[in-house]
Amino acid sequence: MKDRRKQVLIGEVVSDKMDKTVVVQVTRKIPHPVYGKILKKFKKYNSHVASVSPKVGDIVKISSVRPLSKTKRWQVSEIVRKSIKLDN
């Protein structure tokens, strides 16, 4: 049997309004194919939350899992960095 490694991505939580689900935005930096300028590409993933409870603004690590629903194929594995909320 082959050793399959799970794909791991790091991104920022942009929404935590759903039950047991957060939306994680992953940013990639790629060069423009002609001009070479660095561009930011964004993609959002619905991720399942099992044990940890991330909030909006947290940086999290997500890993691929079997399909859990129509849109959820990722699970939050750990919180890399907590967001800093400043009270004004």
CA atoms within 13 A on the CB side of 10: 4
CB under 8 Å to 78, separation ≥6 — which residues?
52, 60, 61
Distances (CA, A) of 15 to 29, 35, 52: 22, 34, 15
pTM: 0.84
Question: Which CATH fold would you assign to the domain 8-81?
Answer: OB fold (Dihydrolipoamide Acetyltransferase, E2P) (2.40.50)
Residue 1 confidence (pLDDT): 53
- For residue range 35-86, what is the model confidence (pLDDT) as tens digits? 999 999 999 999 999 888 899 999 999 999 999 999 999 999 999 999 887 6
